[in-house]
């Protein structure tokens, strides 16, 4: 629980839908924001997206079969090269909302983190995932200062590696488990579904449909 002005009620509160622009946490703990950074860490647990449609972006995780995940990773990351060519790529729409460039950096890093997690689940027995603080990663990586064209290339490569990781999952291994630092347990299948929602939701965050 934090005092973030964004999304503190969350999608579970039907009387107050989530802020359209809020970011998806990957579930790990987050540091308090620095005075220089008005992005407010969001520590909500989004695992509910595995059970019901997201009212914000419309993604329905339960509809996704294991064999669809690799292709959907590529499809849901395909818009980013064009998005990262926007003239306003570095502009935050509001002080507390990431720019397209910052979201692009985040999506690139999400792909890398989830590739690692898939590999861990295939290689180990119920591995515990390292904590990943997405806000700390954004600050440490100075997302706002990165080169959009480089980010586009890196994101494409990361998505390709991630898709290949899912393509390598044997049929009998989709049920293998792993545990996030906050205690949430995933299977390879539910990790894939969770990831796909994240990718879809971030396209919604940057209004990709309008491009």
For Zn ion, the nearest residue by Cβ is: 54
β-strands 177-179, 185-187: how paired? antiparallel
Query: Out of 96, 117, 201, 202, which residue is the one contacting Zn ion (CB under 5 A)?
Result: 201
Going from the C-alpha of 72 to that of each of 9, 35, 160, the distances in angstroms are 30, 38, 11
Q: Which stretch binds Zn ion (CB under 5 A): 30-38, 56-64, 135-143, 149-157?
A: 56-64
Half-sphere exposure of 187 (CA within 13 A, CB side): 11
Measured CA angle at 22 (ends 17, 24), to 5 deg: 110
- Near Zn ion by CB under 5 A, which window of 47-55, 141-149, 151-159, 170-178? 47-55
**Pattern of binders to Zn ion over 2-41, x per CB under 5 A?**
----------------------------------------
Please, which residue, 98 or 146, has the CB nearer to Zn ion?
98
Between 56 and 154, CB nearer to Zn ion: 56
Strands (E), the chain: 177-179, 185-187
Rounded Cα distance between 62 and 60, Å, is 6
56 near Zn ion (CB under 5 A): yes
Task: Give the Cα separation of 168 and 158 in Å (integer).
Answer: 15
Establish if 117 lies at the interface with Zn ion (CB under 5 A). no
Instruction: Give the residue, chosen from 4, 50, 54, 107, that forms a contact with Zn ion under the rule CB under 5 A.
Output: 54
Report the number of secondary-structure helices (H) and strands (E) in the chain. Answer: 6, 2
Helix axes 188-205, 100-123, angle to 10 degrees: 180
Compare residues 26 and 146 and give the one whose CB is closer to Zn ion. Answer: 26
User: 57, 61, 84, 163: which one contacts Zn ion (CB under 5 A)?
Assistant: 57
Q: Which residues bind Zn ion (CB under 5 A)?
A: 54, 56-57, 201
């Amino acid at each position: 629980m934090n005092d973030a002005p964004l999304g503190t009620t969350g999608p579970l509160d039907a009387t107050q839908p989530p802020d359209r622009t809020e970011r998806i946490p990957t579930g790990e703990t987050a540091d308090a924001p620095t005075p220089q950074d008005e992005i407010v860490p969001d520590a909500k647990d989004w695992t509910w997206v595995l059970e019901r449609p997201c009212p914000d972006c419309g993604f329905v995780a339960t509809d996704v079969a294991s064999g669809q995940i690799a292709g959907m990773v590529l499809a849901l990351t395909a818009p980013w090269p064009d998005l990262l060519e926007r003239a306003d790529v570095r502009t935050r729409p509001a002080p507390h909302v990431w720019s397209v460039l910052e979201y692009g950096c985040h999506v690139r890093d999400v792909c890398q983190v989830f590739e690692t997690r898939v590999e861990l689940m295939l290689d180990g027995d119920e591995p515990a995932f390292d904590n990943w603080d997405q806000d700390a990663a954004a600050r440490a990586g100075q997302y706002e200062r990165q080169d959009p064209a480089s980010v586009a290339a890196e994101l494409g490569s990361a998505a390709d590696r991630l898709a290949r990781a899912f393509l390598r999952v044997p049929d009998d291994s989709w049920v293998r488990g792993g545990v996030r630092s906050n205690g949430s347990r995933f299977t390879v299948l539910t990790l894939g579904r969770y990831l796909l929602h994240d990718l879809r939701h971030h396209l919604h965050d940057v209004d990709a449909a309008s491009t």
